[in-house]
Chains A and B, each alone.
Chain A
Amino acid sequence: MRYQLDVPILAHERIADCEYEMTLLSPEIANCARPGQFLQILYDMTYNPFTRRPFSVYRVDREKGTFSIVYLARGVFTQGLRNKQVGQNLSVVGPLGNWFTPPDSPDVTLILVGGGVGAPPIYFFASELSAEGRADRTVVVINGARSESLLVGVREFSELDIEMHFVTDDGSFGARGVVTDVLLERLERQDGPVQVYACGPTGMLRAVGNLCIERDVPCQVSVETPMPCGLGVCMGCVVKIKDAASPDGFTYQRSCYEGPVFRADEILWE
């Protein structure tokens, strides 16, 4: 079910450098949102900025009926979002798109990789897996950013029952390097089946995807594209998906509808 709702802001905090978390009240959305799905948020009814912007679901509290999003205040829209006050309503459409799907078998180790503001859906997924409380399943999270001040969810991830790795380009928090360094090292000492999930900047997704493809490790990535409608009708969000039946070798699929989560080996990167 996809909703269009006016929902109140319950909390709004700066959580890192230029990064903010906004918590909204909507039992409907909190109940049905799945990790990897997103919401389209309207700036306000003056339609200025005109279009909605996509934000991934970060923390969900089903009992309280709340969910949150994280944003980096860098454009007109997100800089303006900073000024929205607790108590004000925002128009939200969602949840939209598909989600990360865990393998059925508990024997598979799951490695979740987040980069920068790609971390929120990774957190949502990790928290759901950790809430399942299956001691037989290993869940590993690698969360990276350029520096500590840009790392999302240090405290939140640390509270989960998972194997946690932080990594920063400048070494200001966790390991120094990039997420693929840690991923490579972790895959190398892994025996037994493993599956990788990633969300972050396109360059990172591509690197994680290629690394997995080379090692025959199944990998799902959540792609980042513009989402002019988020509803599957404008065709402005498409990605090339390999398709042997097409004369071009690919067909365009909608990242808001068939995606945003695709198998890394299906994507034909531009």
Chain B
Amino acid sequence: MTATTRPDLSVTLGPLKLKNPVMTASGTFGFGSEWADFFDLSRLGAIMVKAVTVHPRQGNPMPRMIETAAGMLNSIGLQNPGLDAFIAEKMPYLRQFDCPVIVNIAADNVGDFNTLAERLDTVPGVSALEVNISCPNQACGGIEFGVDPELTRQVISSVRARTRLPLIAKLSPNVTDITVIARAAADGGADILSLVNTFVGTAIDIKRRKFRIANRIGGLSGPCIKPLALYMVWRVANAVSLPIIGMGGIVNASDALEFMLAGASAVATGTINFVNPMAPVEIVEGIEQYLQSQGIASLSEIVGTVR
């Protein structure tokens, strides 16, 4: 390869084609407009927006978030403006960019998931749906679909029947064997799997003798979960043939490459966006440099090569 040919960073995830493999994880990038001063969103592989529910949600009481060793615990409770406001107020902004918009949908019952899928199916500019069956803080209504294989299959197949959009199932790591859930999502008709969502955790203030977040439990994210997330991506990649979007603690290009070597076709940056708003584009550049230095022409060549 000559120095002038740039490596091919494009990736194909089933029906979804992206110009590069780096997206922003749901809930860590709002609805995109907050980033206008940092970089052009067209530089992203895709945007995964904050979870959208049928009706607006206020979310949980404060405190909602705390820092832990190399990570954060959060229990936001899906604060979002609801489906109508998302379509009317957030989509017009997002449509301006040459960047696929992946809408993360959340619900506490199958009926709401159906409504979300039906309505979003025809909204211009929506490129895929990411079904959040893995919200860890029970703000979703108490039931976590993603810990039960049968419920997972039911929800995914029900959503599948209501949209032609590429369908991503976002998996919870809070299970005994994530490959069982991954297979159930595949059986239900998911095109792509994204993993992982946050790990359930908590923290206690010993002086006040109280939980440090109002909801008592929250989801752990950030660098502290990376080895756990990487392991799960590797296991799922070896168990299921669907393409994978890997996430969990990625802060730089080498973290992202680890996920891809373990079997993820694409990656998402989450909590690091809070700390380094430029991380997603720095990771795109870092991956490109890696491929160049290794003499690899196309990113897809390395996916899942560490077995």
Residues on A with C-beta less than 8 A from B278 are 4
Contact B275 A52 (CB under 8 A): yes
Q: How far is the CB of B281 from chain A (nearest CB, A)?
A: 11
Q: How far is the CB of B199 from chain A (nearest CB, A)?
A: 16
Q: At the interface, is chain B mostly helix, strand, loop or mixed?
A: loop
Contact B30 A233 (CB under 8 A): yes
Q: Count residues of chain B with CB under 8 A from any CB of chain A.
A: 34
Verify if A129 is at the interface (C-beta below 8 Å from B): no
Verify if A238 is at the interface (C-beta below 8 Å from B): yes
Contact B79 A50 (CB under 8 A): no
Contact B251 A51 (CB under 8 A): no
Verify if B76 is at the interface (C-beta below 8 Å from A): yes
Contact A233 B34 (CB under 8 A): yes
Residues on B with C-beta less than 8 A from A236 are 63-65, 74, 76
Q: Count residues of chain A with CB under 8 A from any CB of chain B.
A: 32
| Residue from B37, B62, B66 having most chain A Cβ neighbours under 10 A | B62
Residues on B with C-beta less than 8 A from A251 are 58
Contact of A4 among B64, B70, B277 (CB under 8 A): B277
Q: How far is the CB of B229 from chain A (nearest CB, A)?
A: 16
Contact B223 A50 (CB under 8 A): yes
Q: At the interface, is chain A mostly helix, strand, loop or mixed?
A: loop
Contact B274 A51 (CB under 8 A): yes
Contact B275 A234 (CB under 8 A): no
Contact A233 B28 (CB under 8 A): yes
Q: A50-B223, A51-B67, A52-B275 are in contact. Are A234 and B79 (CB under 8 A)?
A: no
Contact A257 B223 (CB under 8 A): no
Q: A226-B63, A231-B277, A235-B64 are in contact. Are A248 and B58 (CB under 8 A)?
A: yes
B residues 27-41 in Cβ contact with A at 8 Å: 27-30, 34-35, 37-38
Interface flags, B58-89, vs A, CB<8A=1, else 0? 11011111110011101010010000000000
Q: A234-B28, A238-B59 are in contact. Are A2 and B37 (CB under 8 A)?
A: yes
CA distance A165 to B60 in the complex (A): 40
Q: Which residue of A lies closest to B67 (CB)?
A: A51
Contact B65 A226 (CB under 8 A): yes
Verify if A270 is at the interface (C-beta below 8 Å from B): yes
Contact A49 B67 (CB under 8 A): yes
Contact B72 A50 (CB under 8 A): yes
Contact A51 B34 (CB under 8 A): no
Q: Which residue of B lies closest to A77 (CB)?
A: B67
CA distance A3 to B74 in the complex (A): 26
A residues 200-229 in Cβ contact with B at 8 Å: 225-226, 228-229
Verify if B146 is at the interface (C-beta below 8 Å from A): no
CA distance A3 to B38 in the complex (A): 7
Q: A4-B277, A47-B275, A229-B273 are in contact. Are A238 and B34 (CB under 8 A)?
A: no
Interface flags, A242-254, vs B, CB<8A=1, else 0? 0000101001100
CA distance A48 to B62 in the complex (A): 24
Contact B79 A233 (CB under 8 A): no
Contact A50 B65 (CB under 8 A): no
A–B Cβ pairs within 8 angstroms, 8 of them: A3-B37, A4-B38, A50-B271, A231-B35, A231-B273, A235-B79, A236-B76, A270-B62
B contact residues vs A (CB 8 Å cutoff): 27-30, 34-35, 37-38, 50, 58-59, 61-67, 70-72, 74, 76, 79, 222-223, 251, 271, 273-278
A contact residues vs B (CB 8 Å cutoff): 1-4, 42, 47-52, 91, 93, 225-226, 228-236, 238-239, 246, 248, 251-252, 257, 270
